[in-house]
Amino acid sequence: MKKLGTSILITCLSNATGKTLSQMFANDVGLHFACCKDILEYNLFDSATMLEKCGIEYLKKREREIVRAITEYENALIYVDYDTYQENEALFKTIHPNIYLHVPKNRVSAKDGLNKIAYEDRDIYLSKQADIKVNVSGSGENDFKKLLSEIGKEL
C-alpha cells in the first residue's frame, strides 16, 4: 500500500453503485464528498457550446484545470468515473488510497456508457491502478458493510 494521503479516491465501472457507496463512505468517516463528474458538469454547464465555439482543445484544457483543482482537495472522498480517471490518470496518482469497487459484469448497465466488450479491459486497467480492490455485488446488499470491512483490513 502506498502512503496515505489527505484524501481518498474511489473508482467503479457502475456509476450508480460507485457514487452511492462513495457518498455513504464519506458520510461515515466524516470526509467531504466530491463527485468529479458532477463538479465538471457544474463548471462546464454548457460544454456543448464551449466545444462548438472554442474547440476540443480548449474544452479538454478546462476539464484538466478543474480535475487538477479537485485532486488538491483535502479531507475529501473523491469519486471518479472511468473516462475521467483514464483521461487524467497522472493527476489522480497523487491520491492514496485509490480504491476500485469491482462490480460484476452483469451489474454494469448501459447507463454507465459501457458495452460488455469494454468491461474486461477497463476492469483490468482499474484493478492495476488501485491500491485496494473491493468486490461488491452492485445490488446494494451489504456492499457498504463490505466496503468498510475491506478498507479496514487494508489500512
Work out the percent of the chain whose per-residue pLDDT is above 70: 90
pLDDT at 1 over 60: no
Q: Is residue 110 one of the residues assigned to a domain?
A: yes
Query: Nearest Cα to 40, choosing from 98, 90, 91, 80?
Result: 80
Q: What is the pLDDT of residue 71?
A: 95
What are the two backbone dihedrals, phi and then psi, of residue 33, each rounded to the nearest 5 degrees? -105, 130
- Mean per-residue pLDDT, 43-49: 79
DSSP 105: G
Q: What is the pLDDT of residue 87?
A: 93
Number of domains forming the structure of the chain: 1
pLDDT at 36 over 90: yes
pLDDT bin (cut points 50, 70, 90) of residue 49 is: confident
Q: Is residue 54 one of the residues assigned to a domain?
A: no
Q: What is the pLDDT of residue 152?
A: 72
The residue segments making up the domain with residue 16 are 8-35+75-154
Q: Is residue 65 one of the residues assigned to a domain?
A: no
Q: What is the pLDDT of residue 4?
A: 66
Residues 6+ apart with CB under 8 A from 111: 15, 16
Q: Is residue 49 one of the residues assigned to a domain?
A: no
Cα-Cα-Cα-Cα torsion 137, 96, 82, 42, nearest 10 degrees, comes to 110
Q: Is residue 26 one of the residues assigned to a domain?
A: yes
- Mean per-residue pLDDT, 122-148: 88
Q: Is residue 119 one of the residues assigned to a domain?
A: yes
Q: Is residue 68 one of the residues assigned to a domain?
A: no
Which strand ranges, in their side-by-side order, compose the sheet holding 132-135? 32-35, 76-80, 8-12, 98-102, 132-135
Q: Is residue 114 one of the residues assigned to a domain?
A: yes
User: Which CATH number goes with the domain that contains 29?
Assistant: 3.40.50.300
In this prediction the pTM is 0.88
Q: What is the pLDDT of residue 107?
A: 80
pLDDT at 74 over 70: yes
* pLDDT digit string, tens, across residues 79-124: 999 999 999 999 999 899 999 999 998 888 766 666 667 889 999 9
Distances (CA, A) of 77 to 7, 8, 97, 106, 136: 6, 5, 10, 27, 18
Query: Nearest Cα to 134, choosing from 6, 17, 4, 2?
Result: 17
Beta carbons of 15 and 79 less than 8 angstroms apart: no
